[in-house]
Chain A
Amino acid sequence: MANQEAPRKGFADALIRLGEQHEDIVVLDADCAKSNMTNLFKNRFPERFFNIGISECDLVGTAAGMAIAGKVPFANAYANFLTGRAFDQMRISVCYSNNNVKIVGHNAGTSAAQEGATHLPLEDISLMRSLPRMTVIVPADAVEMEKAVEAAYYHKGPVYLRVGKLPVPIVTKREEPFEIGKAILYRSGTDVTIISTGIMLGESLKAAEELEMQNISAEVLHIHTIKPIDQEAIIASAAKTGHVITAEEHSIIGGLGSAVAEVLSEHQPAKLRRIGTNDRFGVSGKMDELLDLFELRAGRIAATAAELLGERVR
C-alpha cells in the first residue's frame, strides 16, 4: 500500500516551518483548531494564534483587518461553512479590498466522511473561483500541500487553499517544483488527456495504467491551481489528444470540469467528459465508501475515457 498522509498534516507542518521563518504569519481558526491541526501552530506560537470562535464571517473580516495591519493571516475553518457562509466577507473585505488573506478550507471534498452532507464541501471550488483576485489551489496530497502553503504565503493577494482531513496516498514527489498557475504533466500520452485536481491525481494515474493495458495512451495533467488555470498546458494537451476527461472531488458544476470546459470551448474544442459529483449532496459514509458511491475512481475514469474514444471517428 502506498505511503499515506493526511493533507492537513502537511498543511500544519508547512505552516509551522513558515511561522518560524516569518514573524508576519498569524493564524485564525473558528473553533476547529484540533480538527484542522492549527493547534500545532498554536502550541508553537501561542501569541500568533487567534481562535475567533464559531463565527466564520467574523473570522474572515478579522483576518482582513490583520492583513491591513501588515500581517499575513491564514484564516481556517471547514470549507463548507467558510466558503458558503463567509462568501460575502471574502468578496468585500478580502478580494475587493485586495487584502493579503489566505483562506484555508478544511475537510475538503469527501474527507469529512461520516459527518454527512452538511460537512462535505462539494461546491467550494466553484464559489471561490468566481471571486475576482482569488487564487484557488487544490493540492493532491500532503507533500504537495506543503509546497502549496509556502507558495500561498509568498503570493501577494488572496488565496483559497483546499485541505483534506483524512490520509490519502502520497503520489507527488518532493523534488517536483511547484508554481502557482502551472500545471504538472505527470504522464505523457497521445489518445486522451486526463486532467485531475486534488486527490484525483492518484486515481487518474491508476486509470492511465488501466488504459495502457487496453492499448490506450493516456496523458495525465495535474492542475493544482484551478485559478489562474494553466490554459497553455490544457490547450497543448487537448490539441495533441483531442479527448479530455476531468476528474475532481467536487461538483462538476463550477469546478475544474467547468474551468477546463471554458478553456477548451474557446481555444481548443475537444471531446470532454467531466467526472465529479453530479449536482448532488453527500451522505454519511467512510471516505472510501463515498469515493465509491460518487464513482470518483480510476475504473470510472478509464471506462469514461474508453467510451469517449469509442466515439472517435476511426
Chain B
Amino acid sequence: MGFSEERKQFYSELTKTIRRHIVKMTNHAGSGHPGGSLSATELMSVLFFEHLNVNPADPDWDDRDCFFLSKGHCTPVYYSVLAEKGFFDTAELMTFRDVDGRLHGHPCGEHIPGVDVSSGSLGQGLSVANGVAMIAKLEGSSRRSYCMIGDGELQEGQVWEAAMTAAHFQLDNVCAIIDWNKIQLDDFVENIKGLKNLGDKFRSFGWHVVEIDGHDVEAVHEAFQEAKSTKGMPTAILAHTIKGKGISFMENTHEWHGLAPNDEQLEIALKELV
C-alpha cells in the first residue's frame, strides 16, 4: 500500500517545489494566502499525482474526475499543483494576481485549464461536487468528484446541506478533504466557533470518515484509496495539518493566513525549502 523509496523521494521534491512556488507567488503579488496553501500541499500533491483521473492535454474530457477547491483562497497551492501537473506552464505562476493575467486571487473556472468552477465564496464547493457525482451515477460513469474544504469553512451552513445531500443520494463517488489546520483568518478555529467532535459530525451525517496526518504522503495516499473502495456512502478525509507548514515563521499562526512574505522573509523561506 505504501510508496516506494523512489516515490517518497518524488513527493519530497514535489512538495518542496510547490512550497517554493507558494511563497514566491505570494511575494510577487504582495498579497495572497500562504498559510492554508502550505497546509494543503501534501493533500493536493498526492490527489493530483496519484488519484485524480485528469488529462492536462484535454482538461474538459467528459469522463474526467473533478476537483473543487471550496476554500478558494488557497490558489497558491492550487495553481502550483495544476502547473506542475501540466495544465499550464509553471512560468505563468509568477503572474499570480496580476491584473492582466488569469491567475486571479480566487480561481476563475472559465479561464484556467483544469479548474471546473469558480470559488472564493466559502461553502459552495461540496454542492457542486455532488452535482457532478449525481450525474456520474445517472450515466453509469466511474468518474469521481473531490472537494477540498477548509476547517473554518465548515462554519458555512451550505456545507452541511451538501453533506446531507451526498449521504442521502449515497454518493460514494464523492470525497471531501478537510484541511484541518485548526486556524482561520482571525484566530484558532476553536476560539471562533469550534468544530467539536468533527469526525462524529460527519459520521452522524452518514459519511465514512478517515482521519489522517495530512502531511504524511503515504497516509494521504491510503486515505484516497480507502475512499475509492468505500461503497454506499461518501467519504470525508479529515486531514490534520499545520497552517503554514514548512516555513518556520509561518507555522501554526493565523497571522500568515492572508499575508505575503516580503523579500527578506522570502529569502529565509526559500532557504528552509532547499
Q: Residues of A at under 8 Å CB distance from B?
A: 26, 47-48, 50, 52-53, 55, 57-71, 73, 88-89, 91-93, 96-99
Contact in complex: A64, B165 (CB < 8 Å): no
Cβ–Cβ contact B109 & A69, under 8 A: no
> Are B135 and A93 in contact, with the CB atoms below 8 A?
no
Contacts of A68 in B (CB 8 A): 66, 116-117, 128, 131-132
Given A92-B121, A98-B109, decide whether A69 and B127 contact each other with a Cβ distance below 8 A.
no
B127 lies within 8 A of A66 (CB): no
Instruction: Count how many pairs of residues, one from A and one from B, have CB atoms less than 8 Å apart in the complex.
Output: 111
Assess whether A62 is in contact with B158, with CB atoms less than 8 Å apart. Answer: no
Give min CB distance, B173 to chain A, whole Å.
11
Specify the main secondary structure of chain A where it touches its partner.
helix
Contacts beyond the supplied A61-B126, A66-B135, A70-B62: 19 A-B pairs with Cβ under 8 Å: A26-B135, A58-B161, A58-B162, A58-B165, A61-B158, A61-B162, A62-B131, A63-B131, A65-B66, A65-B129, A65-B134, A66-B131, A66-B132, A68-B131, A88-B121, A92-B119, A93-B124, A97-B109, A97-B117
Contact A61 B131 (CB under 8 A): yes
Q: Are B120 and A92 in contact (CB under 8 A)?
A: yes
Chain B residues near A62: list those with CB within 8 A. Answer: 127-128, 130-131, 134, 162, 165
- Binding site secondary structure of chain B: helix
Is the C-beta of B47 less than 8 angstroms from some C-beta in chain A? no
| A-chain residues with CB within 8 Å of residue B120 when the two chains form the complex | 92
Shortest Cβ distance from B158 into A: residue = A57
CB-CB nearest 9 A-B residue pairs:
A65-B131, A61-B127, A69-B135, A58-B161, A55-B161, A65-B128, A97-B109, A62-B131, A66-B131
B130: chain A residues at CB < 8 Å are 58, 61-62, 65
B274 at the interface (CB under 8 A from A): no
Contact of A65 with B127 at beta-carbon distance under 8 Å, contacts A50-B134, A98-B110 already known: yes
A50 to B123, CA, bound (A): 21
